[in-house]
Amino acid sequence: MIRFQNIHKSYQVAGQDVPALNGIDFEISAGEVFGIIGHSGAGKSTLVRLINLLERPSQGQVLIDGRDITALSDAGLRDLRRGIGMIFQHFNLLSSKTVAENVAFPLKLAGVSDKATIAARVAALLARVGLTEHADKYPAQLSGGQKQRVGVARALATEPAILLCDEATSALDPQTTRSVLRLLAEINRELGLTIVIITHEMDVVRTVCDRVAVLDSGQVVELGPVADVFLHPRHATTRRFVLEAEHVDEGEQVDDYAHVPGRVVRLTFKGESTYAPVLGAVARETGVDFSILTGRIDRIKDTPYGQLTVTFTGGNVDTALAHLAARDITVEVLRA
C-alpha cells in the first residue's frame, strides 16, 4: 500500500517557492490500478515521482507498506527503487542498445551477472510483452507501441511490486493505446502488481483503472471508484474531463433540448440493468411516451454501463421516474 500523508511540495525557482502539491492525503491499495488525472501543471508528475523519491516532499510523508520512505538510507533507497518500475511517455530507451540489451540493462544494474540467468529472464519478459521476434532490433526500428512494450518489459525486469506509468500512452494512437492498456491490465491481473497511471485522458482511466484521483492545482478534488467518478462527477474539473471524453458540448445540448417538449431526464444504467428492456416496460406501466435524445452504452473496465438522455411526455411521469429508480437506474432531471 502507498500512503501519501499530508504532502506539500514546492519547487524553488529563482529564489521563489512555486507550489506544486498542496495537502495530498490518500492511499493506493496493493494490487489496484490507480489513475491520477489532471490538466497540465496540476502536479501529476510531481506526485508520482514522490513514490520512488525522484522528488522529495517539502512536508509530509510517503509510506509504502507502512514504511516512511523519506527516512530511508541510500542503500534502502536503492532497494526501494528496485521494487518500483516506471514507464514514460517518450519511452526513454537506449538507442544504441538492442531490445534485449535494453531489457537486460536494469538486471545488470541490480548486480545480476550470470549471462544465462539474464538471457532467460529477458526471453521471458519479451514473451510476456509479445516482442520475442524483435529481440535483436534497435529502438529506431520499432513502432511507438512496440517501444512502449520494451519499456514495460524493462520496467518489469527487477520484478517490482509497483509500476508507475507517466503519460505512458500519450504519444500513441488510440488503437495502440488500447493494446498497451490491455497489456497493463493483464500484468496487473497475472502478477498482482500495483499500477499507478497518470494521464490527462479520461478514456485511459475508464479502460483500465479501478479507482481514480482527480488532481487540480496540487489538490485532490475528487477520488473514488472509476464508475462512481465517471458516471456521477461532482467537481467541475471532473465534469470537464468526462464531457471531453464523451465529446459532449453541454451548451449545444441545452440549445437542442430547448425545442423538445416534456421532462428531460438523464438515466444511468450500470451492470446487468444496462441491457434490460426497462424503458419500454415502464412506459407501458405508466402510460408515458418517451423519446431518446442522446445515448451510449460502453464499459468502465469490466462493467457495462449505459447513459441515456430521454424526454418523457404524457401519462404519469413522476410514477415512471419512481419505477425507473426502483429498478436501480439513476435518474437525474435535467429539465423539469
Ligand X SMILES: Nc1ncnc2c1ncn2[C@@H]1O[C@H](COP(=O)(O)OP(=O)(O)OP(=O)(O)O)[C@@H](O)[C@H]1O
Binds ligand X (CB under 6 A): choice among 3, 4, 35, 44: 44
Round to whole Å and give the CA distance between 33 and 324: 33
Q: Is 40 in the site for ligand X (CB under 6 A)?
A: yes
Q: Is the dihedral of CA 82, 83, 89, 94 positive or negative?
A: positive
Q: Which is nearer to ligand X, 131 or 204 (CB)?
A: 204
Q: Is 37 in the site for ligand X (CB under 6 A)?
A: no
Q: Between the CA atoms of 194, 200, 201 and 205, what dihedral angle is there, to the nearest 10 degrees?
A: 20
- DSSP for 9-45, please give it: EEEEETTEEEEEEEEEEEEE-TT-EEEEE--TTSSHH
Q: Is 139 in the site for ligand X (CB under 6 A)?
A: no
From the list 38-46, 98-106, 125-133, 314-322, the region that binds ligand X by CB under 6 A is: 38-46
Q: Is 23 in the site for ligand X (CB under 6 A)?
A: no
Q: Between the CA atoms of 233, 201, 296 and 330, what dihedral angle is there, to the nearest 10 degrees?
A: -20
Q: Which of residues 196-235 bind ligand X (CB under 6 A)?
A: 200
Q: How far is the CB of 26 from ligand X (least distance, A)?
A: 16
What is the SS3 assignment for 56? coil
Q: How far is the CB of 53 from ligand X (least distance, A)?
A: 14
From the list 37-45, 56-64, 125-133, 235-243, the region that binds ligand X by CB under 6 A is: 37-45
Q: How far is the CB of 201 from ligand X (least distance, A)?
A: 11
**Contact indicator for 318, 281 with CB cutoff of 8 Å:** no
Write out the three cell numbers for 134. 524483435
Binds ligand X (CB under 6 A): choice among 1, 6, 11, 250: 11
Round to whole Å and give the CA distance between 134 and 139: 10
Q: Which is nearer to ligand X, 24 or 142 (CB)?
A: 24
Binds ligand X (CB under 6 A): choice among 2, 34, 46, 194: 46
Q: How far is the CB of 95 from ligand X (least distance, A)?
A: 23
Query: Which one, of 203, 193, 229, lies nearest residue 298 by Cα?
Result: 203
Contact residues for ligand X, defined by CB under 6 A: 11, 13, 18, 20, 38, 40-46, 200
